[in-house]
Chains A and B, each alone.
Chain A
Amino acid sequence: MDFIGAYTPGNLSYLLKGLLVTLEVAVISIVLSFIIGSLLGVLRYAKIPLLSKVIAVLVETIRNLPLLLILFFTFFALPEVGIKLEIVTAAIAGLTLFESAMIAEIVRGGLVSIGKGQIEAGRSSGLSYTQTMWHIILPQALKRMIPPLVSQFISLLKDTSLAVVITLPELLHNARGIYNGGNYKIVFPILLLTAIIYFLINYSLSLLARALEKRLDTDRKQGTGLRKIRQNQKQSRPIPESF
């Protein structure tokens, strides 16, 4: 094993370049799939005639395909029908397609987990369907969605490495590039460092999620002084004034 030979400035900066691509693809895919997934999840939950059914079929289909296949599809098959995407775009498109379907299910699951009694209480007080969703169902569902959402984001970040098959120059791709030169003494150190990088990023994401969950967990706060709860309410969760 040759740690010194492995961690040369040249190799490190090449890894860093890969990391940046990983982060870029992951962050863009996370944002896009969160938006699209939430929309699909809410629309499927809302039982809109036809539309919800169509979404259900789409989501179930995509969820049951391997991500690898979807990546092959966006990079190798789409050009056949005249859509030629850059490697980065193809990777983002594939990941977003797959993750949107996963997130749609997480969002729908969170929504249906809120009891019917909550909707009935809201509706019977004269709130509209949208108002009931916005003020009563969504805030409660969101809290339950955070843990599965974050673990989905973490697996998305890891899954960016699958895009190695379409030669996306991401972290793992570059790591491989470094030791593929034939120097087997640096394989271990390079993969170790790569592992540490993935771990640090994903673990801090989990920690962030836990902190967020705690902050949203106001209704379980026990034995806190009145004033403190009141302040907490004001600071941490402003109630949207209108929809």
Chain B
Amino acid sequence: MISFQQVNKHYGDFHVLKNINLEVQQGEVVVIVGPSGSGKSTLLRCINRLETISDGKLVVNGITVNEKKTNINELRKNIGMVFQHFNLYPHKTVLQNITLAPIKVLGVEKSEAEKTAMYYLEKVGIPDKAYSFPSQLSGGQQQRVAIARGLAMKPKLMLFDEPTSALDPEMIGEVLDVMKSLAEEGMTMVVVTHEMGFAREVANRIVFMDEGQIVEEGSPKEFFANPKAERAKLFLSRVLNH
């Protein structure tokens, strides 16, 4: 479903992604971990071309992402994205936040889009907030709306960039629970997170990055019990002792 083949990316002189090779199969949950600045967000954002790659090949859903003829909006409508800071539209109600893209991009009827939106709001547990504005919700509720907004496009793939990092501790659980149930339903997910509990429990595969490289890749069991790379050991000892 996602295939990075020898992908490199530079910011000017700075080599952010180095020879990335990564395959993600349909239905897989891949969690990317690594120290700050290691290129996790950049890697994730290449998948829906919020960042462009410098060389190599990146294929998502059978579409070569960085080809001139690629219709980027066509690619993106099958990829949902959830951001660290939610990025809900503050001037629209929760319902309007969720229905905007289905109506404008997929051409769904408004009433149909609202029905779908309500279905996903039920799913994330806040149907009663449909007519609220984002500023009236807690952080955890806003992030759940953002997830519902992504799901309403019925994407084949969901990307999460540190979805719980901006949340108060007591709200992290409610968001992770939603993500967990999504994973159980077979959604293909790529998740950047510092939540090691979630990684251990939900991931099919852990990808450890450092300084723009994929240093280690394996099942959560292997990775947590017995990290091979020295840098991964160091990273784990730091995050797990917190």
Binding site for B on A (CB under 8 A): 115, 117-118, 120-128, 131, 135-136, 139-140, 143, 218-222, 226-227, 229-230, 233, 239
Contacts and interface: CB of A to CB of B under 8 A. Distances in A.
25 contacts: A115-B87, A117-B85, A117-B87, A120-B87, A121-B87, A122-B89, A123-B76, A124-B50, A125-B76, A125-B105, A126-B73, A126-B105, A126-B153, A127-B101, A135-B100, A136-B100, A139-B91, A140-B89, A140-B90, A140-B91, A218-B133, A219-B90, A221-B133, A222-B136, A229-B131
Specify which of A124, A127, A128 lies most central, judged by the most chain B CB atoms within 10 Å of its CB.
A124
A209 B13 CA distance: 49
A136 B89 contact: yes
Chief secondary structure at chain A's binding surface:
helix
Contacts of A117: 83, 85, 87
A219 B132 CA distance: 9
Contacts of A139: 91
Interface string B139-155: 00000000001100100
B50 A123 contact: yes
Contacts of B101: 125-127
Interface string B2-42: 00000000000000000000000000000000000000000
A128 B73 contact: yes
B135 A229 contact: no
Contacts of A218: 91, 133
A69 B73 CA distance: 49
A115 B149 CA distance: 19
B75 to A, nearest CB: 8
Contacts of B106: 126
Specify which of A121, A123, A131, A227 lies most central, judged by the most chain B CB atoms within 10 Å of its CB.
A121
B96 interface: yes
B93 interface: yes
A117 B136 CA distance: 19
Nearest to A224: B136
Contacts of B131: 226-227, 229-230
